[in-house]
Structure 1
Amino acid sequence: MAVETWLTVLKCSKKTALIHDGKRKVHYLFTDGKEMAEEYDVNTDELLVRKWRHKHTLGAHEQWQVEVGEPFTVGSLESEIKENNSNPLFMRKDTKTNFQWRIRNLPYPKDVFSVCVEPSERCVIVKTTNKKYYKKFIIADLDRNQLPLSCDALSFTHVNNTLIISYKKPKEILTLELELLKELKKMKGSSEGDVDCKTQ
């Protein structure tokens, strides 16, 4: 089963954990050299950040790519370069039961927006009838676990110039997240430094 496969990949990766500023920070190093870093709220267990880094063919590291959380974290080079404040800003911020994306700076009424699943391309498409905005994005968690996309799981709302798109997490994902959280809580994350997780 695909979900077990991804969970196995996570369990077999080399993990280090650190608890700092009310966050559980976990770093994964996979056998193919990819790295993933996650941050969870210690009190709510909510995933705050997930980012990925790949190696170039020559061995140098690429920039971190943010999957969940603010697009550029403070202190990164990119944060020095400010985008135009009126440009739409796309980010993912999940809840316990939903994958959720926010697109800020979209000052159009809700009925202008169309949000739908495109199963053949395995993506979500956002567009406006006034042709002012168009966006395609994948749901990486569903791809990693080879799960189908469902139109019924998708909903959206529009408040304060922000389009909020929600996709109800399938039960396989909820189960996987619970399993992973159990694994992470077994790790002896300290406040002083990184601690290796011994995987079975």
Structure 2
Amino acid sequence: MAVPGWRERLRAARKTALVQDGKRKVHYLFEDGKEMAEEYDVKSGQLVSRKWREKNTLGGSGKWQVEVGEPTSPLLGALESELIKESSSNPVFMRKDTLSSFQWRIRNLPYPKEVYSVSVEKEQRCCVIRTTNKKSQLPLDTAALSFTHANNTLIITYQKPKEILAAEEQLQKELKKIKAANNEEGDCKTQ
């Protein structure tokens, strides 16, 4: 039996829709239990967001994974606000389509346009983004590059060269020499 195409899957899915805040919100429930939620601008018909989720290992609803639109920022509860989180200045990659084109955005890139080069690699069927900023002049090693995929996340890893590891180790030695303001071993004693 052939796997049904995308259009057939959309037609077969249970769909509910509502219009709210100038957006048409459509929820799809597929036969395999996966869910997709889309939002369209009512005036232009443009896709604003698309996200997916599937059942977790215990059968409950998993977390939404954003495919198109702004990444969702979880509302921080009293306990969650104490946890460590990513810096808000880290680059954020997202897809935001228009009616006539696919569009990808990378936020929090502070350098001017001249630093970037964007090209199409026809044989690999991909777009490549390069930068002239170089953190080091060390050559890249293919053997140091690896990747894995888990929880709907592609994880790309590049092992640090020995020169970088040595420089970071030296920096840590220097940082250990700095006396912290709240150092309990200091000369000051509280009364």
- Coarse TM-score class (shorter-chain normalised): 0.5 to 0.7
In structure 2, the residue matched to 1:129 is: 132
1:60 aligns with 2:63: no
Cα deviation 1:54-106 (Å, max 9, x = unaligned): 112331222100111111156487x9676423221222221111111121221
User: In the TM superposition, what is the alpha-carbon distance from 1:28 to its structure 2 partner?
Assistant: 0.4
1:9 aligns with 2:17: no
Matches of 1:22 and 1:111, distance apart in 2: 37
In structure 2, the residue matched to 1:184 is: none
User: In the TM superposition, what is the alpha-carbon distance from 1:129 to its structure 2 partner?
Assistant: 2.3
Secondary structure in 1 aligned to 2:103?
strand
In structure 2, the residue matched to 1:41 is: 41
Structure 1 residues 121-130 or 47-56, which shifts more?
121-130
Secondary structure in 2 aligned to 1:98?
coil
Matches of 2:31 and 2:76, distance apart in 1: 26
Secondary structure in 2 aligned to 1:50?
strand
CA RMSD across the alignment: 2.7
User: In the TM superposition, what is the alpha-carbon distance from 1:123 to its structure 2 partner?
Assistant: 4.3
TM-score using structure 2 length: 0.57
Matches of 2:43 and 2:62, distance apart in 1: 32
In structure 2, the residue matched to 1:85 is: 88
Matches of 1:120 and 1:58, distance apart in 2: 42
Cα–Cα, structure 1 residues 131 and 7, in superposed 2: closer, same or farther, change >3 Å? Answer: farther
Cα–Cα, structure 1 residues 54 and 121, in superposed 2: closer, same or farther, change >3 Å? Answer: farther
Aligned runs of 1:18-29 on 2, under 5 Å? 18-29=18-29
User: In the TM superposition, what is the alpha-carbon distance from 1:16 to its structure 2 partner?
Assistant: 0.7
TM-score using structure 1 length: 0.55
Identity over the aligned pairs, expressed in percent? Answer: 62
Matches of 1:37 and 1:101, distance apart in 2: 19
Aligned runs of 1:126-165 on 2, under 5 Å? 126-131=129-134
Structure 1 residues 8-17 or 123-132, which shifts more?
123-132
In structure 2, the residue matched to 1:30 is: 30
How many residues are treated as equivalent by the alignment?
A: 128
Mark the runs of 5 or more structure 2 residues left unpaired by the alignment: 136-191
User: In the TM superposition, what is the alpha-carbon distance from 1:46 to its structure 2 partner?
Assistant: 1.0
Find the structure with the greater CA-based Rg: 2
Letter in 1 for 2:131: T
Matches of 1:91 and 1:76, distance apart in 2: 22
In structure 2, the residue matched to 1:162 is: none
Mark the runs of 5 or more structure 1 residues left unpaired by the alignment: 133-200
User: In the TM superposition, what is the alpha-carbon distance from 1:112 to its structure 2 partner?
Assistant: 2.3
* Aligned counterpart in structure 1 of residue 112 of structure 2, from 109, 112, 127: 109
Task: Answer 1 or 2: which has greater helix percent.
Answer: 1
Matches of 1:113 and 1:56, distance apart in 2: 39
Between 1 and 2, higher relative CO (CA 8 Å, sep ≥ 6) is seen in 1
